[in-house]
Amino acid sequence: MKSGFLPGNQVTLLESGSEYFPALLAAIDGAVVEIHLETYIFADDATGRRVAAALAAAALRGVVVHVLVDGFGARGFVDGLGRGLREAGAHVLVYRPEVAALRLRRHRLRRLHRKLAVVDGRIAFVGGINIIDDQDAPGAEPRFDYAVRIEGPLLAPIHAGVHHLWQLVRWAALQRRQFEPACVVPDLAPRGPVGAAFVIRDNLRHRRDIEDVYLEAIATAREEIVIASAYFLPGRRFRHALAEAAGRGVRVVVLLQGRVEYVLLHYATQALYGALIGAGVRIFEYRRGFLHAKVAVVDCCWATVGSSNIDPFSLLLAREANVVMRSGEFAGRLRDSLQRAMDADAAEVRAEDMRRRPLLARAVSWLAYAAVRAMIGFTRYGGRDYRE
């Protein structure tokens, strides 16, 4: 792992927006020098307006506030909540603005999918939760997702990462080459017992870092692998790694989205069910609401929480960020949360369920899978992993 594990961190698991947003707002309200926030979606809903108001208040009291949003996921932000933030003195930038919505270009799929916040160089948040109300989803139940709150030495690479991307986007947007120094030096004092690493994916030096971290953990697993991924369409390397783990006696469990959110990905994923189940992988579909989690636990002491799904758009195209922890206590807490979700709100997909699927449903799944492969081929980033 290129970034390396750093000891001495306090890492707190936050389950869904009900735990994440109060913690984020408390950190913003306590900020005195600098805030960096990156998000794919920044919705103009009750939650988005609360976060925007807290950021604006911080800017008005003299905190340097940087907000970076994705040009596709947060299309209306600049002319909506972003305008109010700028009027308050916050700095707002857009990653790859959508300037030609009807034009099909391969670079359009390269999005900012990270969900990060760093406050005063002393508190960081990393996870999969956008700035959007949990209830702002089809259906009655809230989204199910995770983030972590971090204090300790891991603030060094996280703070450096958000500052570096801000500089890149600032240069691209304003055509200015001046270097803007960070306002704070991160607080790297030990705060807890957790060894952790910050892992990113981009198209420069970190093209496969997140996937490689997963593959390393899967290859060394001895007892159990539990993965929850909102969108799951792994390439051959990842599928073979899971099958090999199951073949050597490891309990391999994958918790996936049970409701249809994005039709193409939903049915493309189902095309892989038969082979995975046949290899010994157990698949559960979360059905209470919409699963948005991107987490995993391996054996008793390895865990990851972040923004990266196990699909080609995350693993090959988008900018993503995960935190990996080596901690029995943290891994146990995350595993217990996933197990509760599977016991109460998910259903297992069994081999007999796949055999009973109508021929038309199978055909739709394979057509969807072929369509996704064609999209990845169009981008030229898939390599052999998605050509079969």
Q: What is the pLDDT of residues 38-91, one digit of tens each?
A: 999 999 999 999 999 999 999 999 999 999 999 999 999 999 999 999 999 999
SS3 179: coil
pLDDT at residue 291 above 60? Answer: yes
The full set of domains in the chain, from first to last, is 6-174 (3.30.870.10), 195-386 (3.30.870.10)
The pLDDT score that the predictor gives to residue 60 is 98
Catalytic residue among 133, 134, 294, 385: 294
Here the tokens at position 289 are 């609401």
Average pLDDT over residues 258-285: 93
Q: Identify whether 107 is a catalytic site residue.
A: no
CA distance 107 to 99: 12
Instruction: Give me the pLDDT at residue 1, please.
Output: 46
| Active-site pick, 66, 159, 163, 292 | 292
Q: What is the C-alpha to C-alpha distance for residues 133 and 54, in angstroms, rounded to an integer?
A: 16
Give catalytic status of residue 2 as yes or no.
Answer: no
pTM comes to: 0.93
209 in active site: no
Helices (H), the chain: 16-29, 46-60, 81-88, 155-174, 209-220, 236-247, 263-270, 273-278, 312, 328-345, 351-355, 359-379
Q: For the residues 92-120, what does the mean pLDDT come to?
A: 79
299 catalytic? Reply is yes
Q: Which of 120, 133, 134, 385 is catalytic?
A: 120
Confidence at residue 382, expressed as pLDDT on a 0 to 100 scale: 56
Catalytic residue list contains 292? yes
pLDDT digits (tens, 9 = 90+) for 151-178: 999 999 999 999 999 999 998 877 555 6
Using one digit for the tens of pLDDT, what is the confidence trace for 342-379? 999 999 999 999 999 999 999 999 999 898 888 777 66
Q: Which of 133, 134, 202, 299 is catalytic?
A: 299
Active site residue: 36, 113, 163, 206, which one? Answer: 113
Angle at 353 between CA 349 and CA 355, to 5 degrees: 135
